[in-house]
A and B are shown apart, each in its own frame.
Chain A
Amino acid sequence: MTARSIRGVAATAMAGVLAAGAVACAAPGGGREGGAGDSLVVGLANEPETLSPLLGYGKDGNSKIFDGLLRRDAGMKLRPALAAELPKVTDDGRTYTYKLRQGVKFSDGEPFTARDVVFTYRTILDEKTNNAAKGELDAIDEVTAQGDDTVVFALKYPYAPFAERTVLPIAPEHAAKGQDVNTGSFNTAPIGTGPYVLTGWSKGEKLTFKANPGYWGGEPKVKKLTMAIIKDDDVRATRLRSGDLDGAVLPPNLVKGFKGDKDKVTLTARTTDFRGVTLPTAGKVTGDPAVRRALDLAVDRAAMVDKLLEGAGRAGYGPVPTDSEWFAEGTERPHDLEKAQRLLDDAGWRPAAGGVREKDGQRASFTLWFPAGDKLREEHALAFASDAKKAGIEVKVQSGTWEVIEPRMKDDAVLAGGGNPADPDFDLYNLLHSSLALDGFNNMAAYASPDVDKALEEGRRSGDKSARKAAYDKVQQGLADNPGYVFLTDVDHLYVVNDAWQDLTTQVEPHDHGLGAGPWWNVEDWQPAK
C-alpha cells in the first residue's frame, strides 16, 4: 500500500460519511407529532433482565405481554384476570382454589389451560430455576390442576396475603418447556396471553410491542407501544422535550421544566417507596433504645420532603405510608428536638467535647452507609446526619457498593429503600421479624421484639381483615416505641406525559418501577382525548 492508496481509502471513507450526513438531512428523525395517535413511546430508566415470568419478570403484575390469575385495579383491589373470579379460600386459609377464564388463547393461538398455571408455578419453585424472587412463593406446598379449568394451591401455613402473589404472569407450557429455563430463547421471545405482543427487543435501546388483536379483554386502542430504555435522567428529559418520547419517568427537579408546557401533563404516583435508616440492634450506640427514639424524634421529615423531594413525597414513620388504609393512626412522630435531647440526657448520654454526647466512655457516634451513585439516598443520609448532630449524635456518612456495605450491616447503619404496596405483610414481615434477622437483605437492622413477632404472625395467618388491621396496628406501635429503623420519607414517582389521552391514572407504586408501573400500567385501556 502506498501513500496514494491510503489517500484513496481516506477519500472513500470521507465520501461515505458525507453520504450518511446527506441522508440525515433528507430525513430528520425524531420529530414526531404530539397528538394522540395509535402509538405510544415511553422512556424508562430500567430495562428488564429477562421477559420470562419464570425468572421473575412481571411478578408484581402489569406485565403487558402476560396476565396473571389476578390483577390489580387503579385502587389496588384484586380483580380476576386469567381466573374467572377471585379465589375460594378454604381449609383455614391453607387452600386457594382458582376457576379459570374460558376461551383465552396465547398470542400464538394455543389455548390457555390449568396446565400452564401449574407449569409456571412449579418451574419457578424448581431448585434449578434461577428466580431470585422465588422466596415470595415460600408459602406454597403444592400446586395442582383439577381438569382444564381449576387450579388448587395448597399452602404450608395459612397465609392471608397469598392471593396478592397470584398476579404473577402465566407462561405457556408448550412454548417454554423443553429449553434451559435460565437462558433459553423464551427469555427474549416470550409468548403470553396479554394485551401486547413483543415485536422487538433491542437490548439497551428499546422494547417494541403491538396490540394483541385476540386479547380476551378486547384489542387495545394504543396499537403500538415502545418502551425506550434511557438510563440518564437528563437525556430522558431531553428526548421527551424533543418529541421523541410521549411520556417518561423523571426526577422532581427535571419535572419542573415541564410545568409551563400546555401539551404535557405531570402525573404523580403515590408509592410505598420508602427511604429509611437501619439502626442495627448489635451496634453499641444504635442498639440503645433511648438513642433510637431520640433519632426518630430528631429528624425533620417535613424538611426532607420539601428540600430533597421538592414536595413530591410524604413523611414516613414506617413501611406503611400514612395514607394507606393499614396505617396505624396516632403513631406519627412529629419533629421534636427538645424531647430527643431530653431522652438522651435521661438515658445518661451527656454532652461532651465537640458537641458529641458520651456515655460510660462511649461516644454517641456511628457510621451510615449509602449505596454509591444513588443521589437521593446520599441526600437523605446527609440530612439525617445533620439532624442527628443537632441532638448531639455524630453520624459518619460513607458510600460504597452493596458488596462493601453488606458485611457491615450488622454494626453500621444503612440508608435503605424498599416497599411493596400490595399487602403490609410483604414489607413488615421481611423488615421486622426476628427470625429473618440479617438473612440476606431481610431485616437488615436485626430488629427483634417478641411482641412485634407475634403480631406479625397474627397478621399473616388471620383471614379476617379487622383482626389483621389490629395486628398491624400493634406492629406499628411497637415500631414507634422501639424504632429499629428511622423511616424518613415515601418518595412519589413523577411522570410527564403528552396530554393526548383521557383519564390517565396511576396505581400506588412499589419501590421498583419498571415497565408495569407509571401511568401506562393500564395502557391497554387508554382512549384518545376528544
Chain B
Amino acid sequence: MARMAGRRLLAAVPLLAVVTFGVFALAAASPFDPAKAYAGTSGLSAGQDVLDRLRENLGADRPFVARWWDWLTAALTGDLGDSASLRQPVTQVIGERVGWSVLLGGVAFALAVTVGTALGVLAARRRGGLLDRTVTSLAYVLEAAPPFWLGLLAVWGFALKLDALPAGGLTDTGSDVVTAGQVASHLVLPAAVLAATQLPWFVLYVRQGVGDALTEDPVRGARARGLSERTVLLHHALRSGLLPVLTLLGSRVPELITGALLVETVFSWPGIASATVEAATKVDFPLLAALTVLATAAVLVGNLLSDLLYGLADPRVSHEEM
C-alpha cells in the first residue's frame, strides 16, 4: 500500500510538469491579451504606447516556453511568483483563499456522501417502491439542474422568503470579525447547494450497487440462514454495494471543483474559485499555473484515495497490481 502511494507520488511529478506546460501553451494560444486584460476597464481608454509598456513589464511578449521554464524553476525553490491580475504574490492569494474552498468543498462532499449513501440504500431496499421512485426521479432532476441555478433558488427560498439563513459571504456583511458561528451559519446554504449537485451520483450508484448486491448469492445465502434484514442489508449488501461508490469518490473531485467555482460565485464565498476565473480570463500565468497544480494534485489525491479505499474494502483487490 505504501509502495503504491509512493509510486503514484513519483509519477505525479512529471505529470504536474506536463500539465503546467499545457496550461502555459493553451494560455499563450488563447486570444486573450495579458496587457489588455491587466489594464481592465481603464484599458479601454489606454493608448497603444501604454499597452506596449504594460506588455513589456508583464513579460507578455516573451515565448511561453521561456516563461514556463522560469516559472517552473522558481516554483521548485518555493517562489510561486506574483499574480498580475490580483496584484499580490501567488502564495498570498492561495494562502488567503484555499482554506475557505477546502472547508466548503469538504463539508459539501461529506454531506453528499452520507446523505447520498443513506438515500441510495433506502431506495435499493424496495426497488420500484414509492420511496425508490421519488428518490430516483429527484436525483435525475438534481443531476440536470445547473449549480448556479440551484444557488439562486436557495438564496430566494431560504434567505429571502424564509429569512432563515444568510444569502452570501463568509460572515454577516456588516461584520468584519470572522467567528466560527458566523462562518458556520454562512456555510450552510453554499455547502448544501454544492452537496445537492453531487448527491445524485452517490444516490444512483449506491442504489444500483446495493440493489444488485441484494440479489447476489451471498446475500440470498445470508437471508436463507435466517439473519435479520438489518444485518443482511448493512453487513452484506452494503459492503459489496459500496465498492463502485469508492471509485466514484475520486472521480467526483474534478466536478466538485467546478461546482464549487459556480457556487462560490453565487454566494460571494471568498474561496479560490473567483481567483481561478480571474487568472484564466486575464492570462495570469503564475497564478493559473499554481492553481492548476493544486487542482491536478487534488484529482490525483482523490484517485489515490479511492483506490486505497477500494483495496481496503475489497480483500480480493491487491494494491500491488494497481
Contact = CB atoms under 8 A, between A and B. Distances in A.
Interface of A: 1-3, 6, 10, 13-14, 16-17, 19-21, 23-32, 39, 41, 49-50, 52, 55-56, 59, 127-128, 130, 132-136, 180, 182-183, 185, 187-188, 199-200, 202-206, 208, 224, 226, 228-232, 234-235, 238-239, 241-242, 244-245, 401-404, 406, 418, 430, 436, 439-442, 511-512
B42 A204 contact: no
Interface string B56-70: 011000000000000
Given A128-B57, A401-B31, A442 B114 contact: no
Given A230-B268, A245-B173, A442 B184 contact: no
B87 A442 contact: no
Interface string B140-183: 00000000000010011001100111111111111010001110
Given A130-B57, A202-B170, A440-B43, A55 B87 contact: yes
A49 B167 contact: no
A242 B167 contact: yes
B145 to A, nearest CB: 17
Contact of A226 (B32, B83, B156, B174): B174
A372 to B, nearest CB: 12
A292 to B, nearest CB: 23
B205 to A, nearest CB: 15
Q: Which 7 A-B pairs have the closest CB atoms?
A: A132-B39, A403-B31, A13-B110, A24-B185, A29-B166, A30-B166, A204-B274
A200 B176 contact: yes
A440 B46 contact: yes
Given A182-B82, A204-B270, A440-B43, A27 B185 contact: yes
Interface residues of B, number: 81
B41 interface: yes
Interface stretch (B8-16, B47-55, B126-134): B47-55
A442 B47 contact: yes
Contact of B114 (A14, A30, A242, A245): A14
B266 interface: yes
Contact of B173 (A49, A244, A418): A244
Contacts of A20: 107, 184-185, 187-188
Given A203-B275, A229-B268, A442-B47, A17 B38 contact: no
A235 B167 contact: yes
B199 to A, nearest CB: 13
B214 to A, nearest CB: 16
Contacts of B252: none
A208 B182 CA distance: 16
Contacts of A3: 235, 238-239, 242, 313
A235 B174 contact: no
B22 interface: no
18 contacts: A10-B113, A17-B111, A17-B191, A20-B107, A24-B165, A27-B185, A30-B172, A50-B87, A56-B42, A132-B40, A135-B49, A187-B87, A187-B88, A206-B173, A206-B268, A232-B265, A245-B173, A406-B36
Interface string B269-313: 111001100000000000000000000000000000000010011
Contact of A49 (B45, B87, B242): B87
Most chain A CB atoms below 10 A, which of B39, B170, B186, B238: B39
A403 B321 CA distance: 49
B33 interface: yes
A39 B165 CA distance: 21
B82 A130 contact: no
A112 B87 CA distance: 26
B117 interface: yes
A135 B85 contact: no
A442 B43 CA distance: 10
Contacts of B33: 403
B244 interface: no
Interface string B23-36: 00000000111001
A133 B46 CA distance: 6
A87 B107 CA distance: 59
B86 interface: yes
B166 A230 contact: no
Contact of A235 (B113, B152, B163): B152
A194 B235 CA distance: 68
Contact of A205 (B53, B85, B270): B270
Contacts of A55: 87
B159 A23 contact: no
B47 A242 contact: no
A88 to B, nearest CB: 29
B44 interface: yes
